[in-house]
Amino acid sequence: MTATPEAPPTIVLVGHGMVGQRFLEALAGRGLTATHRVVVLCEEPRPAYDRVQLTSYFSGRTPEDLSLTDTAFIAEHGIELHVGDPAETVDRAARTVTARSGLVVGYDVLVLATGSYPFVPPVPNKDAEGCFVYRTIEDLLAIEEYARKSTTGAVVGGGLLGLEAAGALKGLGLTSHIVEFAPRLMPVQVDEGGGAALLRAIEEMGLSVHTGVGTQEIVVGEDGAVTGMRLSDGSELATDLVVFSAGVRPRDQLARASGLTVGERGGIAVDEQCRTVSDPRVFAIGECALAADGRVYGLVAPGYEQAETAAATIAEDESAFTGADLSTKLKLLGVDVASFGDAHGATDDCLDVVYSDSRAGLYKKLVIGRDGTLLGGILVGDAEAYGTLKAFTGSVPPVPPESLVLPAGAGAPVQLGPSALPDDAIICSCNNVRKGTIREAVTEHRCTTVPEVKKCTKAGTTCGSCVKVLGRLINAELEASGVEVDKGLCACFSQTREELYEIVLALRITSYRDLLDRHGRQDARGGDGCEVCKPTVASIIASLAPTIGAGTHVLDGEQAALQDTNDHFLANLQKNGSYSVVPRIPGGEIAPEKLIVIGEIARDFGLYTKITGGQRIDMFGARVEQLPVIWARLVDAGFESGHAYGKSLRTVKSCVGQTWCRYGVQDSVRMAIDLELRYRGLRSPHKLKSAVSGCQRECAEAQSKDFGVIATAGGWNLYVGGNGGATPRHADLLAQDLSDAELIRLIDRFLMFYIRTADRLERTSVWLDRVPGGLDHVRDVVVHDSLGICDELEALMAAHVAHYRDEWAETINDPEKLARFVSFVNAPDTPDPVVAFVPERDQMKPDLPLLSIGLRPADEILEGSVTR
């Protein structure tokens, strides 16, 4: 008689979110999936996905992009995953879990990872039609569908998810409001100064913020749908869509029903091993757990640590969860926000070091102990130093604290590199990875690249905010070990962009294929290149085209295949598949006849028109086959390409100057026009922006531009390296009281030196901070000709100016180039049926409820068609 093999012990995991998936990975890493039966009951209709990046769903990322697991992992480890089938009851006496489908699973170990649920204030009509929460992909789908028939949206809650929700509503085309009961936004993470900086930045984006007021009632119409909100100050806010994002609460209902102990304010009580205090066979991890220190942790990093602790305990290894770092680094609506350590200065006898620039939207505060210990801090508007600052928390930094909060270009005396960090410094807070662990990955596990270290340590695999520091640490460790660090552009070229520029210039190489075959890495020669080097080399050849004898049009021959989408079609691709057309308007000056032409074109083609921040008029909504027709009418009226699509000069903004303004001391409009016409079409590592102000009142905002000019009584002051984007930087004064000729000569030199030496996609602001010697070195080169190359730089610019041709005009006169401007190559007369619009404010906007999440209905795809 054959004995029946004993069944393996069973681990049941209830919940398959980010923390649940990490628990499964921890089980697999310890070999427990080979010795145990693992069953997962998941409430959502899809496996674990990245909830931290949830809002990116609205910008085109699909569920597959956000997924944290795949069928291969599940199958490889024999995990029984039941999606859309949540646990409904737990019988601890019988040790069974019953799912909604009726499935009953016995367990030896039960792990609750049920997460949290959105808190909805108990206000009248909170469940009315048009009210939503913001927690899952399904929530986002419902919001997106309802937004199609809405014009205004309001978000209750000004925390992290609330701001993300408001940004999503704005992205869907709704007028957006944020209502926060606290006196400032993100009250947990930032202080009053940080909240004020964040408020300014968000209001500048067109969102309305209401702080210090609560929601008293949701107002509904006769049909039961939302029409507004009544606030605690007696005012009423008109809105037809409401999103509740007022915090979360632990999902502990299943535990309560099964008799497990929960905290007074919720959360399943667990010990340091993440076992429930009521039952040693039941564990709780993540946002549903009340840790032994009395906290419910609402961040993913502590949840991951709890998952590892629970898996280790099940494997009978010693492990304990005794608390976690609550530091966070976020990008909210494009604004960097970070806090770490004792951010609010709760420690007795501490001091603050504060830097604030309301004009640039910057706020930085460090909390310092009397002995110089860095205790914590808050960063708003620029969180570049977060990784370094956080690593020094709890220790005395090797530099004065004020040097750590001054922005780039403001005279910070010391720049700390990765070698200054102690080995126990946390580099990746999401996965609790220390510098020492990363060093071991390089020295002991022979990891030499960021992807290899990420795979080995999990650092940088969650929010990604530490990846830049990670790369610097890897290179520093390799160099310290005597290993030559590969600083090549990509896998195809061992040279940097600067070195490739010199090769192309010296050898007069006019094609990417020739450069790759002659100077590419051995295993890349004869190949097709990659998405990094192809547009980079295309930009270099375009920059040097007149000098090396290459074609001057980006769509000439091989050059066309190397371009990014925007350059490929000489227009900016929009989110619904249409394009925008931006004619050049030098200095913002335009004759009435030309204004009329733009209006007529926009009317005839049904385009959305908007005056941009760079004093131009943008026309949105053109189909690809309409572009040449629109260009032809613009060219006939005297317009040319504004190069809004290229890594090239965008605009030279100006005030009205001395011609009209009573404060003006120079003709800023004339100078702006001269500069824009001189540098139009100049291809560079990144886009270039400029401005000319007619006096020191600075109405054109020249000091936030790549090169900016301010008039003085004695001539012109030239500023360089400014950036008004996501990481604002004030430009530095390069030279002053210049004549017209001196100004243009220095700008010629500066731009060509930047193009020659900058890395790919590196703005002048980043380049100026990276170049050894910084501004002083650049001044020595372009003003004092310390390298003896200024004649060459001026000659290169002169060649560009002499050979400039309008790309639009050349395209519409070339049948071969025109052939690419179709939606379907095998049906050139058929417009793309997915490009659709709906009216709004007497204009049109994209109709894209499905496109915005990367989906395209099958009945809208032209059968048998081949898209471009």
The per-residue pLDDT for range 387-426, each reduced to its tens digit, is 778 878 888 887 777 777 765 445 444 455 666 777 777 7
SS3 (DSSP) at 25: helix
Measure the CA–CA gap between 315 and 629, rounded to whole angstroms: 69
The upper half-sphere exposure of residue 722, i.e. CA atoms within 13 Å in the direction of its Cβ, equals 22
> pLDDT digit string (tens) for 760-812?
888 999 899 888 888 989 999 999 999 999 999 999 999 999 999 898 898 88
Residue 224 pairs in a beta bridge with none
Q: Which residue has the tokens 């960097």?
A: 336
Residue type, 343: A
pLDDT band, very low/low/confident/very high, at 864 (cuts 50, 70, 90): very low
Quick check: 573 and 622 in contact, CB under 8 A?
no
Tell the residue number behind the tokens 């995953």, with chain if given.
81
Q: Who contacts 488 (Cβ-Cβ below 8 Å, separation ≥6)?
A: 494, 495, 496, 521
Q: What does the alpha-carbon distance between residue 617 and residue 609 come to, in Å, rounded to a whole number?
A: 7
Whether pLDDT at 449 is above 50: yes
- Tokens at 769, concatenated: 């901070």
Return the pLDDT at 104.
96
pLDDT at 857: 32
- How many Cα atoms occupy the beta-carbon half-sphere of 334 within 13 Å? 17
Residue 12 phi, psi (nearest 5): -110, 125
CA–CA separation, 193 vs 213, rounded Å? 19
- So what's the pLDDT on residue 560? 67
Q: At what angle do helices 137-147 and 160-171 cross, to 10 degrees?
A: 40
Q: Is the pLDDT of residue 704 over 80?
A: yes
Could you identify the residue written with the tokens 């002083």?
A: 776
| Amino acid type, 844 | M
pLDDT at 859: 31
Lowest mean pLDDT among 518-532, 585-599, 710-724: 518-532
List the one residue out of 106, 113, 72 whose CA is nearest residue 90.
Answer: 106
> Does residue 867 surpass a pLDDT of 50?
no
Look at residue 414 in the predicted model and tell me its pLDDT.
47
Range in 61-70, 400-409, 733-742, 743-752 with the lowest mean pLDDT: 400-409
512 has a pLDDT exceeding 70: yes
Helix (H) or strand (E) holding 57: none
Beta bridge partners of 10: 37
pLDDT at residue 854 is higher than 80: no
Mean pLDDT for 617-639 is 90
Tell me how crowded residue 402 is: count the other CB atoms within 10 A of its CB. 15
Mean pLDDT of 156-162: 87
pLDDT band at 300 (very low <50, low <70, confident <90, very high): confident
Q: At 502, phi and psi to the nearest 5? A: -65, -35
Q: CB of 562 within 8 A of CB of 534? A: yes
Looking at every residue in the chain, the average pLDDT score rounds to 85
Class of residue 592 by CB neighbours under 10 A (exposed 0-12, middle 13-18, buried 19+): exposed
Task: Flag the least confident range among 242-246, 282-286, 340-344, 575-579.
Answer: 575-579
User: Residue 91 — very low, low, confident or very high, per pLDDT cuts 50/70/90?
Assistant: very high
Which 8-state DSSP code applies to residue 432? T
Tracing tokens 């600075």 back to the chain, one arrives at 698
How many Å apart are CA 180 and CA 165, to the nearest integer?
A: 13
- DSSP bridge partners of 209: 178
Task: State how far the alpha carbon of 138 is from the alpha carbons of 18, 46, 135, 226, in Å.
Answer: 16, 10, 8, 20
**pLDDT: is 662 or 275 the higher one?**
275
- Which domains does the chain possess? 10-117+250-314 (3.50.50.60), 131-246 (3.50.50.60), 325-416 (3.30.390.30), 497-563 (no CATH), 648-805 (3.30.413.10)
Q: Read off the amino acid at residue 318.
A: E
Name the residue among 616, 547, 559 with its Cα closest to residue 794: 547
Q: Please list, in sequence order, all residues whose beta carbon lies within 8 angstroms of the beta carbon of residue 59, skipping any fewer than 6 positions away.
A: 171, 575, 852
- Section 467-476 average pLDDT: 79
Q: Tell me the pLDDT band of 332, cut-offs 50, 70 and 90.
A: low
| Separation of alpha carbons 664 and 656, rounded Å | 8
Which residues have CB under 8 Å from 711's CB, separation 6+? 657, 658, 664, 665, 666, 668, 692, 693, 694, 695, 696, 717
pLDDT digits (tens, 9 = 90+) for 542-567: 888 888 877 667 677 677 667 766 77
Q: What is the mean pLDDT of residues 440-464?
A: 82
What is the C-alpha to C-alpha distance for residues 348 and 342, in angstroms, rounded to an integer?
Answer: 11
Residue identified by tokens 């957006």 is 176
Q: Is 350 helix (H, G, I), strand (E, B) or coil?
A: strand
Which token pair is 571? Answer: 């227009």
| Residue scoring higher pLDDT (144 or 470) | 144
Least confidently predicted of 19-28, 118-127, 194-203, 466-475 = 466-475
Residue 556: per-residue pLDDT: 72
pLDDT band of 826, cuts 50, 70, 90 = low
SS3 per residue for 549-579: CCCCCCCCCHHHHHCCHHHHHCCEECCCCCE
Mean per-residue pLDDT, 628-633: 92
**pLDDT confidence bin for 852, thresholds 50/70/90:** very low
* CA dist list (Å): 80 to 37, 94, 606: 8, 21, 54
pLDDT reported for residue 392: 81
The pTM of the full predicted model, rounded to 2 decimals, is 0.56
More confident residue, 224 or 408: 224
- Residue 562: phi, psi to the nearest 5? -90, -10
Strands, E assignment, 419-538: 426-428, 433-434
Residue 12 has a CB neighbour count (10 Å cut-off) of 25
For residue 649, give the amino acid letter. Answer: L
Highest mean pLDDT among 227-241, 425-439, 467-481, 764-778: 227-241
Q: 200, 494, 139, 504: which is closest to 362 by C-alpha?
A: 200
Q: Which range (294-308, 713-727, 794-808, 852-866) has the least confidence?
A: 852-866
250-261 pLDDT per residue, tens: 999 999 999 999
Q: What is the rounded distance in angstroms from the CA atom of residue 401 to the CA atom of residue 396?
A: 9
Sorted by sequence, the CB contacts under 8 Å of residue 266 that are 6+ apart come out as: 249, 250, 252, 290, 296
Per-residue pLDDT for 271 more than 90?
A: yes
Confidence at 755, pLDDT banded by 50, 70, 90: very high
The per-residue pLDDT for 462 is: 72
CA dihedral over 471, 473, 477, 480, signed as positive or negative? positive
Handedness of CA 679, 681, 683, 685 (dihedral sign): positive
Which residue is it, tokens 């910057």? 362
Poorest-pLDDT segment among 130-144, 308-322, 485-499? 485-499
Task: Locate 459 and state its tokens.
Answer: 């650092």
Can you say whether residue 723 is alpha, beta or left, with left for phi > 0 and alpha for psi between -120 and 50 degrees? Answer: beta
Tens digit of pLDDT for each residue in 475-498?
A: 888 877 777 777 788 888 988 888
Share of the chain above pLDDT 70, in %: 91
